[in-house]
Amino acid sequence: MSQVLSASSGDSDGTQTIVETTVFLQNICLQHHFIRSRDMSAIVEKPERLRAVNVGLAAAIAHLEESLAAIKVEPEYALPTASTSDDLAAALGQTNLAAQDIDPLESSSPVSIIKSTASVDMFNHPAVKFIHGDVDGDVYLENLRAWARGSRDKILKGESEIPEGLSQGSDLYLCPTSVDAIQDAVGTVCEAVDAVMHNATEQRCKRAFVSVRPPGIITDWTTAHLQHGIRRVVILDIDLHHGNGTQAIAWQINEETYRKTLETEYSESEATPPEAPGRKIYYGSIHDILSYPCEDGKAELVQAASVSLHGPHGQHIENIHLQPYTSDEHFFDVLYKEQYSKLLKKAGEFIEGSGGKGDDVLIFISYGFDACQYEYPSMSRHGRKVPTSFYHRFTVDACAFTDRYAQGRLVSVLEGGYSDRALASGAMAHLCGLVNPGEGKVNEQWWNVENLEKLEKATKKRWGGKQSLTPQGASESWLDRALVIFSSLDDGSAQYMAQASSLRPAIPIPPSSMTLRERKKTSSHSVEGSPTSSPPRKLKEESKSSKTISREPPTVGCGYAREQ
């Protein structure tokens, strides 16, 4: 039973503004976490990512409310107002509504928030089995469940919970509650698809953003086909890392549809009734060709991440490589205009060439924020970044594309993004683009460094797990409001985090192998400063006992996130 939090808006004449954007949150996703060691220094794909997203969403809603200047609050069902912040617990209690008590899509606000409790049985769900099932049974799914269930025992024995032959790096891990997190992540995405499909025609939920993890959820468009008859899907993959797994599955589905089409065309039997048109998928990706999975230069991976094929062999694939930029003007006037915008142009050609706009079209964005200008330097170390405003601009353009071709129906799902600032700023810009209140209503200064620092300071967690929910001397109305909204969005997360932490075995952090060096004069061949850390590429190969200590954020390959 999903909990509904929504702000409502109204015009001066008392009429209600129809909601078009819904955000889906899922606390169970916090229960997928690293338990192999108490040393978390190399872990970036962690539950706290969702908290950072909530910070950005809260700021976006606060800014939009202030910009629209027409927000009214329904006392029973709305997010608590700033004036009730002293009695926040009571206000939160009013929003604890079951889905059957109130239609979560009845709210008339720029943004509706749904705290989902949806889940699927991935061992029997048709979409999951279609993607991950095996000819001889659900071998992979059963193995995954067994690995997760036995993870704690394996670690207590000094072994890895990840089987030999798979990456043992810090970006691929399991814990006993990982399957619960995966099933609820899939369930929440399916809930968002259902909401968009059922309500877009009434303009009650045209667009959805789903904040879940672990990343790599790719059953959403299969659900759209199996349950809602969606025949043509556009997948826009915005991430530092190429989605080779998603592209491979899209290729297979297109290949099968193409094969059946050829068989029908060349069939000699006129008595054979024509089959219903098969699924067609356009997969378009903007990524860094120098980052994982292409960082080692493996031919098959680099080639796959560079495919541009439209029509031949039934494929509809476009890959665009990120390039360094020198200024915001260079980025938007040159790179975005001449290169990155081709992602939507090719998607339009795909739809026009397969029958034009229709009710069998649905748009998905796999939205990663790890190419953001605020991402860890060690993550985007090849300099292929985007300004935060890109996430707003591309979202606005994607929504216009969706309105033209797919009745406005769009589902966006969180993918990458690892630093708090990248996640918060990216989520803020993305949500503002989804709401798209009109020209001049969104100020790109909302996610500048100064405002982000204010937001970070106000929501910073204190020692002992407590967090500051005061503006720390600032009295700006948007910040006050953002704190109240954030408290509602993040309510209950501490409980799940505590439950997850209790599963971590009491394995001590291995003693450091570092020793004090004898002071010597710096020679012409030495490097000034601390001992040099190992090259980033070697981090995944190091054992727990020899992990290099570095002041910089860790480098990960994101193999788990992008190969599901």
38-42, long-range: CB < 8 A, 24+ apart: 38/504, 38/507, 38/508, 38/509, 39/509, 39/510, 39/544, 39/547, 41/547, 41/549, 41/554, 42/170, 42/539, 42/547, 42/554, 42/556
Q: Is 180 exposed, middle or buried (0-12, 13-18, 19+ CB in 10 A)?
A: middle
Give me the helices (H) in 18-156, please: 48-68, 88-94, 126-132, 139-149, 151-156
Q: Mind listing the pLDDT tens digit of every residue in the chain (564 residues)?
A: 666 665 444 444 444 455 689 999 999 999 999 999 888 888 999 999 999 999 999 999 999 998 886 444 333 334 444 444 444 333 333 333 333 333 322 344 589 999 999 999 988 888 888 887 765 667 888 999 999 999 999 999 999 999 998 888 888 999 999 999 999 999 999 999 999 998 755 657 899 999 999 876 677 778 788 888 899 999 999 999 999 999 999 999 999 999 999 988 877 666 566 666 789 999 999 999 999 999 999 999 999 999 999 999 999 999 999 999 999 999 999 999 999 999 999 999 999 999 999 999 999 999 999 999 999 999 988 999 999 999 999 999 999 999 999 999 999 999 999 999 999 999 999 999 999 888 878 999 999 999 999 999 999 875 445 555 554 544 689 999 999 999 999 998 888 777 766 666 655 555 544 444 454 444 433 333 333 333 343 333 333 333 333 333 433 333 333 444
Residues linked to residue 208 through DSSP beta bridges, in sequence order = 22, 411
CA-wise closest residue to 429 among 67, 55, 60: 60
Domain 23-70+107-266+275-460+478-502 matching CATH 3.40.50.620: the answer reads no
